[in-house]
Structure 1
């Protein structure tokens, strides 16, 4: 009974090991930068550009506010997804931009983009903590105005996209 269990465990360990065979590598368009890779420096001058945007939703006369972001490099596909997360603690919003999900759907190069809904946030002024890979900056997001206003302390990390 122990032999089949031991064999199955060693087979599982062997199959989980990364292969050096390029034919077994994930296909183009499936690369994902994980949280562990978030601390790696981006290309020289890597920056995230942000803006708020309102879009009509299905209910007549209602709009939803989004925080739209893009990076400032030309990725393998103009439809790549910029990995972004938003957490809130009282009046502080923490934004984290960790990498790019390459989908390789088009041959066009362009910036990776993401959108985060702000619809559930009360209209007030929020302090921002922004992490772009291994760099940090602070800023503010004022949702009491239309359009909402963004400002950043270090515009080499994050800036307003116009």
Structure 2
């Protein structure tokens, strides 16, 4: 009985991040962040810091140039002010922040203080599945993997 209690505590300490949402996280400067088969590359994403987080795919267009950023919403909220108010599943245009760079007199246009360099900015939100901010819609349910791992551990330990 004591062995089962110790084993239960050991398993619970291993999966303390079991309910966090897994999202792909990359910046436009990283190779392969644009439309790419992430599953073929073997990258399984990172868990989001918040328990009620949302995966985000941020698409910014300037003519034919497209830059894609993938991350958790709580990570991007700290540095972006153009997050749309509606954050349910789907894609929406960025909101306009009229207070952004209001009291700044800067003649260097590369700083992009008013955040108006891109012609179109689209925010895509998803939270119903792990790694849903990728380019393909195929994903492995994490609860199935954890269940199989726990079942096989118990089967190996208690087969004697």
Instruction: Give the structure-1-normalised TM-score.
Output: 0.23
> Which has the higher relative contact order, 1 or 2, with Cα contacts under 8 A spaced 6 or more apart?
2
Judging by fraction of residues, say which structure has more helix. 2
